[in-house]
Amino acid sequence: MENYGRSKNGAEAQTVLNCIDLSSPDIQQSVSLLKQACLDCGFFYVVNHGISQEFMEEVFSQSKRFFKMPLNEKMKVLRNEKHRGYTPVLDELLDPDTQVRGDYKEGYYIGVEVPEGDPESEKPFYGPNVWPAPDCLPGWRETMERFQREALEVAKAVARIIALALDLDADFFDKPEMLGQAIATLRLLHYEGQISDPSKGMYGAGAHSDYGLITLLATDEVAGLQICKDRDAKPQLWEDVAPMKGAFIVNLGDMLERWSNCIFKSTLHRVLGTGRERYSIAFFVEPSHDCLVECLPTCKSDKNPPKFPPIKCETYLSQRYKDTHADLNMYNKQQT
C-alpha cells in the first residue's frame, strides 16, 4: 500500500491510511477497517463526521487571526499552570534525545471550561480557560467552544467503533467515568515556515506519541506530518501522511495502547517543516480524571497477562505534560 521513494521532506515513503466513513450504515465494515488500522499503525482518516466544511474553515480562519497578532499581545494570554492559553515557539520539547531546541511551532490550549469556585475546577485538567479579549477577536471564543462540542461528538462516535473493534459493548467508553466526563483539550497550532533539519535536531514537532485515548487532527493542505510504525527499527522509517480535505486524521494515544495491553498501537509521529507556513487543529480526548486505566478484559489471557499496572488517568496525564513543557518561571524571568 505504500509508494516508496524519498519525499522532499526526508520521509522514505508515503503511507496510505484506512478511511472510516462515520455516515456508513455498514458498521461491520467500519469496525473491520478501524481494527486493521489500529493493529497496523494506529492512524486513520475519518470522513463524513458531521462537522461542516464551512465551519471548519471558520475555525481555521479564527485560529489564523490569533496567531497573526503581535507577540506581545499573544504573551498576554500565556499558558497557565493548567495548560490553558498561548504556548510560544520552542515552549514544548517532545523528543529531548534528538531535539537541540524545542518545537518550532506555537500553539493555543483550550480545555474543559469550569468556572473558578466550582469544586470541579480544583482538578488538574478542569478550570476556567484563558481567552483573548473579545474586542480584539470578536466571536473567537464562541467559535472555539462550538468546535469543542462538535469535535467531542465525533470522538465519541469513533470511540464506539473502537469499543466494537476490541470486542467490548459499543457504549463502553460512553460511561460517566470515561468520556461522559472527558478531559477534552483543543489545541490550535501554527508552524511558521521554518525548514526542519533532523540532522541538526530541528523539528516542527519532535517525534512523540500522544498521551491519551484518541486525537482528532484537522490540517490545512500543507504536508508535514510523518509517522514511524516501528519505533525500535534502526534506522527508523518515516512515512508522510497526506492531508485530506474535510477529513480528520485520527490517531490512538498511549493510554489506549496501555488499556488494550499493546494490541492496538500508539505510533510515533512528528512534523517536519517544509518551508511553508502550516496550520493544524488537534483535539485530544482522554477519559475523566478519576478513570482507572487497567487492562481491558478482552485484551488479556493466561498467555497474555496485563503488561502495565492500573493507573489513574489524572496521575498519568499530569506527569506526561510536566515532562514535555518548559517551566513557566522561565517566561517570568524573561519579562523582568
Q: Strand 43-47 vs strand 19-21: parallel, antiparallel, or unpaired?
A: parallel
> Does residue 287 belong to any structural domain of this protein?
yes
| pLDDT score of 3 | 35
pTM score, two decimals?
0.91
CA 322 to CA 142: how far, in whole Å?
29
> Does residue 11 belong to any structural domain of this protein?
no
> Does residue 1 belong to any structural domain of this protein?
no
CATH number, residue 268: 2.60.120.330
**Which residue range forms the structural domain that includes residue 229?**
19-327
Give the cell for residue 278.
502550516
pLDDT digits (tens, 9 = 90+) for 73-83: 999 999 988 88
Which CA distances in Å does 104 have to 125, 217, 268, 271? 25, 18, 18, 9
Looking at every residue in the chain, the average pLDDT score rounds to 90
> Does residue 7 belong to any structural domain of this protein?
no
> Does residue 2 belong to any structural domain of this protein?
no
> Does residue 282 belong to any structural domain of this protein?
yes
Q: How many CB atoms are closer than 10 A to CB 213? A: 29
> Does residue 27 belong to any structural domain of this protein?
yes
| Cβ atoms of residues 58 and 65 within 8 Å | no
> Does residue 96 belong to any structural domain of this protein?
yes
Give me the average pLDDT of each 10-residue run along the chain (336 residues).
Answer: 40 85 97 96 96 97 97 92 88 78 90 92 91 94 97 97 97 93 95 88 90 96 94 90 96 95 94 94 95 95 94 88 64 51
CA 261 to CA 301: how far, in whole Å?
10
Domain count, the chain: 1
Quote the strand ranges of the chain, DSSP E: 3-4, 13-14, 19-21, 43-47, 85-87, 106-110, 112-113, 126-127, 183-191, 205-208, 214-219, 225-228, 239-240, 248-252, 268-271, 278-286, 292-293, 311-312
Residues 6+ apart with CB under 8 A from 247: 19, 45, 46, 47, 49
> Of 112, 106, 117, 102, which Cα lies nearest the Cα of 78?
106
For 1, half-sphere exposure in the C-beta direction (CA atoms, 13 angstrom radius) is 10
| pLDDT score of 209 | 93
